[in-house]
Each structure stands twice: as structure tokens, then as C-alpha cells.
């Protein structure tokens, strides 16, 4: 099953994607739907108004997650390109909902930063309360997967040893287009690609993850309770602009496309905030 959040006149709505149609589900958004323990049956049985997907205005698939937990240094190739050793434990930081934009919205380049970088990532959406879970229990709590780009202001990120200030500028982080439930995916590992102005800048397979999704959820659940709708951005592979020589960053009018096989793609234009 594929789910999305539609922007409609004066409201939003969760929707089930049936081919080229978005069928409304009786919930304000995908996050609100996931709060219902019976969300799968409710979404599958929905027979609400239908909208052509080709003209649908999609919001971030979960517009206001209770938590957005991000993982740094989680692809072996990216860790090596940054000159670091493989970590023993996940490197964690947070992002706030104000950073999120829809899958086709413009990325707002902050006026105060001249070093805004791309980071294609697999997003994992939690579908149940999780606390002190085993890896098997953590895997069973995954509602689905999506695509996210952890757009980062590098000059702010590295002002201190803590990364938060570079990671959560408002209206910088595209997320969507869909939540795809695990049963829709075959094979297990997913191919990821990021393009800037038609040039492939990142390409990887999630097999390169140091800490895969279920392990991340199990680890995080030792620290705090994860709730339905919480989002985990699992880290980016090699090919980011900051690691290039010379460094390369997003500029006004740049077109960023982030895709993961089976999950869809984000298509976003960078626009300078003045």
C-alpha cells in the first residue's frame, strides 16, 4: 500500500494511492492515520473522494512528525569520503517539522548560508509505539518507507561540534512523495540516486548502511519511546557537495531530484531566500 498526504482547499487529507488516483482516507494526514492502531485496515477499506495523482498537491507525507531523528555517518562509502572511522554506535541528531516541505515544493536556500548541500536519504516511518524493542520487534513496528533529502547548511553545521543548527533551517527538507508499506517492496535492499541539474551526484544501495532500519529503531527505543508517525532519516551515501574538491553547493534555480527505487522521487528547485 502507498499512502500520501494531499493538500486540498482549506484542509489536508490522507490518501491511498491506487494507480493514478489518490483516494481520500478519513484522516487529516498520514500522521493522524498512523495514530489509529487499525490504520492498515482503515486505509485499505477507504472509499473516499478520488483525485488524479497527476495534478495532486502533495504535502510532506507526514507533515508534523512528533520526532524527526536523523542518523549521520551511516553509509560506509560516505564515512570513508569524510575521512572517518566506522562508528560503533549511531550518530544521532534531530530535525524539526518546520524544516519539512512537500515532494515537489521549492527548497528555501537560507539567506545567511552560502554552503547548502544535498543529502539523499531513506526515511523510515514508525507505525506503533516502540520501547526497549528487539531488532525483530523493531522491524515489525515499521509502517513504511519514504524518500527524504536532509538538505544541510554546512557553514552552520560546522560552527560547533553539534550539528543541529545546520540541519533544521525552515523549508529545506523535501519528504515524500509516499509512505510505502514493507509488503510492497521486494528484494530488501533499495537503490538510491540523487541528481543535481541532470547530473547524478549520489548513487548507492541501502546494503551499504552500517546500521539498517530495524537496528536503528531498536537502538533508539532504548533511549525513548517511538510513536506512530515518528520519522527516522537513516543517513546519506557518498557524493555530497561538501566533500568534493572544490566543494559544490546548491544555488538559486538548481533542480534537485532524489529517488529511491520502489518509493518514488522528490523533484525540488532551490530558491534563494532574500
Model pLDDT for residues 174-201, shown as the tens digit of each residue: 999 999 999 999 776 799 999 999 999 9
Beta-carbon contacts of residue 202 (< 8 Å; ≥ 6 apart): 118, 120, 192, 193, 194, 236, 237, 238, 239, 240
Q: Grid coordinates standing for 26? A: 478519513
Residues of the chain within CATH 2.30.30 domain(s) are: 1-59
- Kindly report the backbone phi and psi dihedral angles of residue 27, in degrees, each rounded to the nearest multiple of 5, phi listed first: -160, 150
- Kindly report the backbone phi and psi dihedral angles of residue 105, in degrees, each rounded to the nearest multiple of 5, phi listed first: -80, 165
Residue linked to cell 528555501: 108
Rounded to an integer, what is the distance from CA 126 to the centroid of its chain? 12
Distance CA 48, CA 65 (A): 24
Residues of the chain within CATH 3.90.850.10 domain(s) are: 65-272
Q: How confident is the model at residue 273 (pLDDT cuts 50, 70, 90)?
A: confident
Q: How confident is the model at residue 255 (pLDDT cuts 50, 70, 90)?
A: very high
Q: Grid coordinates standing for 176? A: 515524500
Distance CA 210, CA 9 (A): 43
What is the pLDDT, as a whole number, of residue 258?
98
Distance CA 74, CA 102 (A): 25
Which CATH architecture describes the domain 65-272? Alpha-Beta Complex (3.90)
Determine whether 206 is exposed, middle or buried from the number of CB atoms within 10 Å of its CB (0-12, 13-18, 19+): buried
Fold adopted by 1-59: SH3 type barrels. (2.30.30)
Q: How confident is the model at residue 159 (pLDDT cuts 50, 70, 90)?
A: very high
Amino acid at each position: 500500500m502507498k499512502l500520501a498526504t494531499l493538500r486540498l482547499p482549506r484542509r489536508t487529507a490522507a490518501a491511498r494511492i491506487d494507480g493514478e488516483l489518490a483516494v481520500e482516507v478519513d484522516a487529516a494526514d498520514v500522521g493522524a492515520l498512523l495514530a489509529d492502531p487499525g490504520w492498515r485496515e482503515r486505509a485499505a477499506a477507504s472509499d473516499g473522494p478520488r483525485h488524479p495523482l497527476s495534478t495532486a498537491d502533495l504535502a510532506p507525507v507526514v507533515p508534523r512528525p512528533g520526532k524527526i531523528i536523523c542518523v549521520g555517518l551511516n553509509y560506509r562509502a560516505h564515512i570513508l569520503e569524510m575521512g572517518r572511522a566506522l562508528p560503533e554506535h549511531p550518530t544521532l541528531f534531530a530535525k524539526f517539522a518546520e524544516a519539512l516541505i512537500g515532494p515537489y515544493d521549492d527548497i528555501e536556500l537560507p539567506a545567511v548560508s552560502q554552503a547548502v548541500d544535498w543529502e539523499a536519504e531513506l526515511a523510515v516511518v514508525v507505525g506503533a509505539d516502540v520501547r526497549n524493542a528487539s531488532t525483530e520487534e523493531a522491524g515489525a513496528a515499521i509502517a513504511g518507507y519514504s524518500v527524504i533529502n536532509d538538505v544541510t547548511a554546512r557553514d552552520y553545521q560546522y560552527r560547533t561540534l553539534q550539528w543541529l543548527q545546520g540541519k533544521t533551517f525552515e523549508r529545506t527538507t523535501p519528504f515524500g512523495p509516499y509512505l510505502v508499506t514493507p509488503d510492497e517492496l521486494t528484494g530488501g535492499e533499495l537503490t538510491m540516486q540523487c541528481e543535481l541539474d541532470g547530473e547524478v551526484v549520489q548513487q548507492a544501495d541501502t546494503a551499504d548502511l552500517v546500521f539498517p532500519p530495524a537496528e536503528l529503531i531498536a537502538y533508539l527505543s532504548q533511549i525513548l519511546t517511538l510513536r506512530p508517525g515518528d520519522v527516522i532519516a537513516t543517513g546519506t551515501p557518498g557524493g555530497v557537495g561538501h566533500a568534493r574538491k572544490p566543494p559544490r553547493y546548491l544555488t538559486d534555480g538548481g533542480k534537485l531530484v532524489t529517488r529511491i527505487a520502489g518509493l518514488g522521487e522528490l523533484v525540488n528547485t532551490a530558491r534563494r531566500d532574500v
